[in-house]
Amino acid sequence: MRAVLVALVALAAGTFPLIGFAADAPFVPSPQVVVDEMLRAANVGPQDVLYDLGSGDGRIVITAARKFGARGVGVELDEHLVIQSEEGARQAGVEQRVKFLQQDLFKTDLSEATVITMYLLPNVNRRLRPHLLNLKPGTRIVAHDFDLDEWKPDQVTTIRKNVFLWIVPAKVGGRWVARVPLPGGMRNFVIDFRQMFQAIDGVARVEGQQAQMWEARLRGDRISFVIVDGDDRDHEASLYFEGRVAGNVMEGEIRRGVGNAQSTIKWQAVKVGP
């Protein structure tokens, strides 16, 4: 934090060197232990494609390839830093797994990314947030020092600096309908979800009767919630919904009841309105 503030003061005074400074943020390298923690927190692995926004000297991308086996793309405006990054990748022996783009991060196609890393100033993070929320659900976003304001992180760790992790949530806000085969017969469910980033809640109607929703959770494209099957008051049971969201469809399994009285039911819901 202090390094960034010093850089901004120096810029205002006209004493900050041009190399390493983009229009939105000065280049202030992340300590290697912070880089390691960012990649550990995001559970980076060989299956991942990591995009580092404002990649500086390329250390995050190079570390992701060298230590975690991932493929990586660095996005950086400064030509000198791109050249430095490419040389660093060659020296580390990972030049076949990484590339560096000299371009505006706001004009970069991020659809291939499974992991986004960034060490950017708060105003840049705020501008990026709508783009990040439109990435594929389950995409992991990890940032050093600065968060995303109202979009609260799914996880925070502190090793020398704060490291924030978000999982891009599926869009589930709106009305969904499902037909569920329960012991008393087929039941029609209408579920209205409310969503604020990854936080969800809602209300349901079962055959027109209101039923409260409990323990609603959303992590990426995985959703879970509980509705009580109260059709027979003497034999009430909790319905534990678990499923995956894919666009306007969510489907999975319901566990009805607990212990040796538990049964499993397939379910599917379709989005029908906002």
89 in helix, strand or coil?
Answer: helix
Over its C-alpha atoms, the chain yields an Rg (Å, rounded) of 23
Domain ranges in the chain with CATH number 2.40.128.120: 174-273
Beta bridge pairs of residue 175: 192, 273
Q: Quick one: pLDDT at residue 20?
A: 38
Closest CA to 162 of 149, 141, 147: 147
Those residues with Cβ within 8 angstroms of residue 90's Cβ, 6 or more apart along the chain or in another chain: none
- pLDDT tens, N- to C-terminus, the chain (274 residues): 333 333 433 333 333 333 333 455 678 889 999 999 999 999 999 999 999 999 999 999 999 999 999 999 999 999 999 999 999 999 999 999 999 999 999 999 999 999 999 999 999 999 999 999 999 999 999 999 999 999 999 999 999 999 999 999 999 999 999 999 998 899 999 999 999 999 999 999 999 999 999 999 999 999 999 999 877 677 789 999 999 999 999 999 999 999 998 999 999 999 999 9
For residues 132 and 265, what is the distance between their CA atoms, to the nearest angstrom? 35
Structure tokens at 226: 């509980």
Superfamily name and number for 2-167: Vaccinia Virus protein VP39 (3.40.50.150)
Degrees (nearest 5) of the Cα angle 32, 18, 123? 65
Please say whether the beta carbons of 196 and 219 come within 8 A.
no
Distance, in Å, from the CA atom of 270 to the CA atom of 65, rounded to the nearest integer, reads: 40
> pTM to 2 decimals?
0.87
Q: Domain 174-273, what fold?
A: Lipocalin (2.40.128)
Distance, in Å, from the CA atom of 78 to the CA atom of 86, rounded to the nearest integer, reads: 13
Q: For residue 230, what are the contacts with CB-CB under 8 A and spacing of at least 6?
A: 211, 236
Look at residue 25 in the predicted model and tell me its pLDDT. Answer: 63
CATH 3.40.50.150-classified regions of the chain: 2-167
Q: Return the pLDDT at 12.
A: 37
